[in-house]
Amino acid sequence: MKKGLELDSIDLQILSILSKDAKTSYAEIGKQLFVSGGTVHVRIKKMTEFGIIVGSKLSINYAMLDYDIIAFIGIYLEKSQLYKDIAHLLKEIPEVIESHYTTGGYSIFAKIMCKDTVHLRKVLSEKIQKIDGIARTETFISLQEGINRPPEIYETNKEGIKVTNTQE
């Protein structure tokens, strides 16, 4: 039997605060929400146990490390049945930082990060396009990132949200 966890507005506000800055202390969150740091700690622990919170991330300014190219690659597969195998091979390429199985024209849409256009060309021609089962690719180079933010977390009703534990 799966156990449920009721998320109320405090839980959703905690998630909202942490999604903007995962380093915010329990005490600071508690101060913002008018609850104790201990209450925040217990609620975060429960949300972690239920798989709602699955870690935290460090944001790095990669341009400061000379990674100047972000590109998006639309990948056409010869057969859609090849997706799992090709996704596994893409995971082995360090420059591929995201990939999505998509609807529409492309089977896979990937995000890659490279130091410069020479590096990008090598990744495309020597790694991605050499994978058997990839028919062709289309590349889009990002000139500037306009928005990068977490989605807003809204409370849907006064009773809160019931989450079923899928970890068991």
**124-136 pLDDT per residue, tens:** 999 999 999 999 9
Phi-psi region of 51 (alpha: psi -120 to 50; beta: other; left: phi over 0): left
Using the predicted structure, report yes or no on whether residue 1 has a pLDDT greater than 50: no
Position 150 scores a pLDDT of 86
Per the model's pLDDT, the better-predicted residue between 88 and 152 turns out to be 88
CA distance 44 to 37: 11
Q: How would residue 57 be classed by pLDDT, with cut points 50, 70 and 90? A: confident
Per the model's pLDDT, the better-predicted residue between 159 and 52 turns out to be 52
CA distance 37 to 14: 11
* Whether CATH 3.30.70.920 fits 62-141: yes
In percent, the amount of the chain with pLDDT more than 90 equals 79
Beta bridge partners of 137: 75
Using the predicted structure, report yes or no on whether residue 41 has a pLDDT greater than 80: yes
Position 155 scores a pLDDT of 62
Beta bridge partners of 134: 77
Instruction: Output the pTM of the full model.
Output: 0.80
As a whole number, mean pLDDT of residues 4-14 equals 89
Exposure letters 103-135 (e unless 16+ CB within 10 A, then b)? eeebbbbbbbbbeeeebbeebbeebbeebeebe
CA distance 152 to 13: 10
* Whether CATH 1.10.8.50 fits 4-58: no
CA distance 90 to 148: 24
Position 158 scores a pLDDT of 53
Q: How would residue 168 be classed by pLDDT, with cut points 50, 70 and 90? A: very low
Sequence ranges of the domains in the chain = 4-58, 62-141
Q: How would residue 156 be classed by pLDDT, with cut points 50, 70 and 90? A: low
Q: What average pLDDT is seen over the chain?
A: 91
